[in-house]
Amino acid sequence: MAVDLMAQPCAHLFRHGPFESLPTAGEAEGRVSKGPSLLPARKPPLSGQKRKLCTDKHSEANTRGSRCNCSNRRWSLVAAAIMVVASLATSADAAGGSFYEDFEVVWGEDPHPERRVAVIDGGRLVKLTLDNVSGSGFQSKDAFLFGEFTMQMKLVPGDSAGTVTTFYLSSKDYPMWEGDGHDEIDFEFLGNVSGEPYLMQTNVYAQGGGRREQRFFLWFDPTADFHNYTILWNPLNIIFSVDGVPVRVFKNHELQGVPYLSTQAMKARASIWDGESWVTMGGRVKTDWSHAPFVASYGAYDASTACVSSSSCSAAAAPWMTRRLGPEGQRALAWARDNYMVMDYCDDPWKVFPRGVPAECGIDRLAMASLL
């Protein structure tokens, strides 16, 4: 399905991209077919100083002058080079209906929760609001088992401390918690005081097991304009991308005993809510409700390549089912991690794994070492 929440020109027309697909049965042995292009065929500029990973629950949060330099930084000029490389190729004609045909408002503690979700121009723009009464959210009517999902978002401007703006997939409706068996793939954007940068947090829950956070700064101001946030979820891996640049890969290591998201269909969801107990400076900076309502904007949404759970997708019918990062994608991923990642659960900065970090951490690091 494709919903034109805000029409944008088609821009994923590059000849080369960061992805590759495994050879299908009909291809010659050793042949690799390229997936859809989302990144220009050039090396991302390595501008900016490499960031030291944060190792403390509070210092990794949005603090100025912290001991790991997590937010004492400038916006990188790399935005001019690689932002807007993947505006959604969704037109008004392809949208095929209104917002309410594909989505439903599911959250807003109000006699009329739809009042907290402003659907503008037939769904070309959707605004979620948060105040001291309630946040708000919407979700897709369909559930999907694998797919590629992109949402355009513009985050809360100004003083957004304590707020959390999200785009995610989940197999379970709210409330959700650790150990309840659900699957989930998250983009979460952690607000900050005026003048300080957002943190983008990614997370994966597999069969109820989470605590797989990775946090990044962004190479642009996410409050100034819309940007594309993409989740590619297939049987091989989950790839998180921002404006076509891969920032994280969670691989399927089921054969090594690591749970993966293989069997539970998930809905696409978006929300804004109050997380002042932990979001900004580890909860030391609270939400300033005098600035409410806080408004997050959602533009175009695309799930046209996703598989509805009641149907099946073969690799031949859906080439993205075997897509993974190629050499260019690996290089772009390394650039994002080296320059913008500030926290990795595999380093256990919050000391939540007394028996050792999850198995996938060691597996991935051994695989990376073998490439060096």
Using an 8 Å Cβ cutoff, are 152 and 314 in contact? no
8-state DSSP, 105: E
Q: State the pairing for strand pair 294-302/2-3.
A: antiparallel
Instruction: Spot the catalytic one: 184, 213, 276, 328.
Output: 184
Continuous segment of H or E residues that includes residue 209: none
Tell me the Cα Rg of the chain.
Answer: 20
Hey, what are 167's tokens? 């785009």
Based on the residue annotation, tell me whether 184 is a catalytic residue of this protein.
yes
Hey, what are 27's tokens? 């291809």
Instruction: Spot the catalytic one: 20, 188, 196, 276.
Output: 188
Residue 155 CA: distances (Å) to CA of 128, 227, 298, 366: 10, 9, 9, 37
Based on the residue annotation, tell me whether 276 is a catalytic residue of this protein.
no
CA 169 to chain centre: 10
**Phi/psi at 172 (nearest 5 deg)?**
-130, 145
Using an 8 Å Cβ cutoff, are 152 and 299 in contact? yes
Query: Could you give the CA distance from residue 345 to residue 356 in angstroms, rounded to a whole number?
Result: 11
Query: Could you give the CA distance from residue 283 to residue 61 in angstroms, rounded to a whole number?
Result: 9
> What is the sign of the dihedral through the CA atoms of 237, 362, 350 and 62?
negative
Residue 303 CA: distances (Å) to CA of 137, 232, 313: 18, 10, 14
**Phi/psi at 250 (nearest 5 deg)?**
-115, 110
Query: Could you give the CA distance from residue 12 to residue 40 in angstroms, rounded to a whole number?
Result: 9
Catalytic residue ranges: 184, 188
